[in-house]
Amino acid sequence: MDQEKLERIRELKELWEQELADLKERKEPAETVSGQPVKMLFTPLDTKNLDYERDLGFPGSYPYTRGVQPNMYRGRLWTMRQFSGFGDAYDSNRRYRYLLEQGQTGLSVAFDMPTLMGYDSDSDRSLGEVGRCGVAIDSLEDMEILFDQIPLDQVTTSMTINGPAAILWCMYLATAEKQGASLDQVGGTIQNDILKEYIAQKSWIFPPEPSMRLITDIFEFASDHVPKWNTISISGYHIREAGSTAVQELAFTLADGFAYVEAGINAGLDVDRFAPRLSFFFNSHIDFFEEICKYRAARRIWARRMKEKYGAKDSRSLKMRFHTQTAGCSLTAQEPENNIIRTAYEGLSAVLGGTQSLHTNSMDEVLALPTEKAVKIALRTQQVLACETGVANTIDPLAGSYFIEALTDKMESEAEEYFSKVDDLGGVLPAIEQGFFQQEIADAAYEYQKAVDRGERIVVGINRYCSEEAPDIEILRIDPEVERKQLERLKRLKETRDGGRVSDCLEELKRCAASGENLIPKILEAVRAYATEGEITAALKEVFGEYREKPLF
């Protein structure tokens, strides 16, 4: 736009501002949920420096701001991938087959706390926790049951597992093998993002160095043997759930991503060999526009840095593909039906932001794991979005909006400030050690709570439009029998397997862990011998040690 026209707009803006002087404004602060003030109006003045080719480009082309595929949802809708898992492998297998029947297009496994932390169901740390917040998997036998009647060469699976990711991945691969699939046909994702565990989710096992080594072992093995597998889902979801702002989620996630890229390069891998299979996982929170801008900024930042700083040549290394989950922390226990509405808006912003796959939360998740009814509504939310609203008809429809482009730019530059801070601290691992991310997150979480308590941030049903009624919905119960049956099955397994072979495998594992060779083949061996997750973890702990966190508020 030429200077004269901009000047004219500036004059008109001043006139408009004069009119405002006589008008009252609503008292609620005009801020995003992250506390960012939002101007009343955006005009061409806010985007005067926008260059279409440089800043936006076309979908499927650098810098990918508008989307990573040339035809986005016109070619293929996002994957509807509901995170799910509870009880034992039989229970979850039934749920997965139900979801696939209802039209879900990919699987996503939620494991229970003992499995996430590397303990078997019979450990005394597992008491009361077996099957409670996810499915209990102790050995290959459980994994085989979990995917019974589900062909792993046709269905892709995402597994939310971090500390023991290598072990569960090997169990999945061994299961696929047993089904007769060949590994180069097997597709899916393991979360495998240990950095964000230290920062936010806190289900770690080993200290940072050996954890990073396991991750680069996975990169290497996958690039040679399981080429369709996404070896890591670099996550911001949990960082946001822990209380961060949108910019922090954006910056910390990408910072972690760059740290993994550097780890891979330092391990001697060519960047284009593993970067194409890095994927991301973001939150979709309730502030509609902020989230859309966050995703667009993320794609642009990733593409630029991968090209300019890390010298990636393969275009797949530059494309930031991501899964999104709607924000659990935005849901309320009060009037849970309202959560259906929140989830719908959050799902919409994820789609307008160009996500590759989406999980929509169920309304009852603040109370328990979802019931069949609740998860069906959550799935239908996506289906209505995809089929009825028309938002999938055109790509990146909000591009060019003065507000959207201005906010995308702003979030990008604020993220860059964080990158500088992290560099000043010496990088991501030193920053974690100094508690930098954790402190930022704790502060943001506290600020948010205070804003809610003061009534500045409104949450319907919590501090406005409240009703006294207690939630009146059915919730999912985990039968305590699950724990007992799991323990029985585990006992039988240990009695009937070849104990000698298991011990040999574990010894070999320890030797390999100490020597620095790629551990994945050894873990596969152990898994095939029906060594349990707890046994493998314990063996690795002997060599790697355990992580302990730095306490911070």
Partner 1 sequence: MQQLVKDLLAGSRRAAARLISQVENDDPHKRELLMEIFPHTGRAYVIGITGAPGSGKSSLVDCLLQQMRSEDLKVGVIGVDPTSPFSGGAILGDRIRMQEHALDQDVFIRSMGTRGSLGGLARATREAIQVLDAFGKDIILVETVGVGQSEVDIVKTADSTMVVLTPAGGDSVQTIKAGIMEIADLFVVNKADLPGKERTVTEINLMLDMKEDSRWRPPVACTVSVRGEGIEAVWQSLQEHRRFLEESGRLQEIRRERVRRELTEQVEYLVKNQIWDRVKEQIEFDSLVEKIVHRRRDPYSAAYELLEKIDFYGETD
Partner 2 sequence: MENRKIRVLVAKPGLDGHDRGVKVVARGLRDAGMEVIYTGLHQTPQQVAETALQEDVDVVGLSVLSGAHMTLVPKIKELLTEKGLDDVLLLVGGIVPADDAEKLRAEGHADQIFTPGEPLEKITAYIYDWFKAKSNS
Would you tell me which residues interact with partner 2 (CB under 8 A)?
113-114, 116-117, 119, 125-129, 132-133, 197, 201-203, 241-243, 329, 332-334, 366-369, 441-442, 445-446, 449-450, 452-453, 459, 461-463, 470-471, 475, 478, 549, 551, 553
Q: Say if residue 508 is exposed, middle or buried (CB neighbours under 10 Å; 0-12, 13-18, 19+).
A: middle
Residue of 57, 85, 257, 435 that binds partner 1 (CB under 8 A)? 435
482 and 91 Cβ atoms separated by less than 8 Å:
yes
Closest distance between partner 2 and the C-beta of residue 51, in Å? 40
Give me the helices (H) in 197-245, please.
208-225, 237-241
Partner whose footprint covers residue 332, from partner 2, partner 1, none (CB < 5 to 8 Å by kind): partner 2
Closest distance between partner 2 and the C-beta of residue 62, in Å? 37
Q: ∠12-17-22 over CA atoms, to 5°?
A: 135
Closest distance between partner 2 and the C-beta of residue 242, in Å? 5
Closest distance between partner 1 and the C-beta of residue 487, in Å? 25
Token reading at 305: 């840095």
Identify which of residues 208 and 461 has a Cβ nearer to partner 2 in the complex.
461
Could you say whether residue 243 binds partner 1 (CB under 8 A)? no
- Quick one: DSSP state of residue 28? S
Distance of alpha carbon 421 from its chain centroid, rounded?
Answer: 24
Partner whose footprint covers residue 442, from partner 2, partner 1, none (CB < 5 to 8 Å by kind): partner 2
Cα–Cα distance list, 463 to 334, 457, 522 (Å): 11, 9, 55
Closest distance between partner 2 and the C-beta of residue 448, in Å? 8
Q: How far apart are CA 371 and CA 364, in angstroms?
A: 8
Identify which of residues 128 and 516 has a Cβ nearer to partner 2 in the complex.
128
Partner whose footprint covers residue 434, from partner 2, partner 1, none (CB < 5 to 8 Å by kind): partner 1
* 61-98 core/surface letters (b: 16 or more CB in 10 A; e: else): bbbbbbbbbeebbeeebbbbbbbbbbbbbebbbebbee
Identify which of residues 106 and 131 has a Cβ nearer to partner 2 in the complex.
131
Closest distance between partner 2 and the C-beta of residue 217, in Å? 24
Closest distance between partner 1 and the C-beta of residue 122, in Å? 21
Identify which of residues 64 and 437 has a Cβ nearer to partner 2 in the complex.
437
Partner whose footprint covers residue 105, from partner 2, partner 1, none (CB < 5 to 8 Å by kind): none
Q: How far apart are CA 516 and CA 217, in angstroms?
A: 10
Closest distance between partner 1 and the C-beta of residue 220, in Å? 27
Identify which of residues 488 and 549 has a Cβ nearer to partner 1 in the complex.
549
Identify which of residues 517 and 549 has a Cβ nearer to partner 1 in the complex.
549
What is the C-alpha end-to-end distance of the chain, expressed in Å? 49
Could you say whether residue 454 binds partner 1 (CB under 8 A)? no
Identify which of residues 102 and 463 has a Cβ nearer to partner 2 in the complex.
463
243 and 441 Cβ atoms separated by less than 8 Å:
yes
Partner whose footprint covers residue 141, from partner 2, partner 1, none (CB < 5 to 8 Å by kind): none
Q: Interface mask (CB under 8 A) for partner 1, residues 386-425, using x and -?
A: ----------------------------------------
Closest CA to 139 of 541, 417, 537, 546: 537
Q: How many other CB atoms are there within 10 angstroms of residue 495's CB atom?
A: 8
Give me the helices (H) in 237-285, please.
237-241, 246-266, 271-274
Identify which of residues 390 and 426 has a Cβ nearer to partner 1 in the complex.
426
Identify which of residues 213 and 323 has a Cβ nearer to partner 1 in the complex.
213
Could you say whether residue 434 binds partner 1 (CB under 8 A)? yes
Closest distance between partner 1 and the C-beta of residue 207, in Å? 8
Longest dimension (CA), the chain: 85
Closest distance between partner 2 and the C-beta of residue 334, in Å? 6
Identify which of residues 8 and 125 has a Cβ nearer to partner 2 in the complex.
125
Which residue type is seen at 414? E
Identify which of residues 453 and 549 has a Cβ nearer to partner 1 in the complex.
549
Q: How far apart are CA 263 and CA 310, in angstroms?
A: 12
Closest distance between partner 2 and the C-beta of residue 117, in Å? 5
Question: What is the chain's length?
Answer: 553
Identify which of residues 269 and 442 has a Cβ nearer to partner 1 in the complex.
442
Q: How far apart are CA 277 and CA 265, in angstroms?
A: 14
Token reading at 66: 């508008």
Extract long-range pairs of 271-275: CB within 8 Å, 24+ residues apart.
271/306, 271/310, 271/311, 271/312, 271/317, 272/312, 272/313, 272/314, 272/316, 272/317, 273/219, 273/223, 274/219, 274/220, 274/222, 274/223, 274/231, 275/306, 275/310, 275/312, 275/314, 275/316, 275/317
Partner whose footprint covers residue 36, from partner 2, partner 1, none (CB < 5 to 8 Å by kind): none
Contacts of partner 1 in 534-553 (CB under 8 A)? 548-549, 551, 553
Number of H helices and number of E strands within the chain? Answer: 22, 10
Partner whose footprint covers residue 445, from partner 2, partner 1, none (CB < 5 to 8 Å by kind): partner 2
Q: Which residues bind partner 1 (CB under 8 A)?
A: 426, 434-435, 548-549, 551, 553
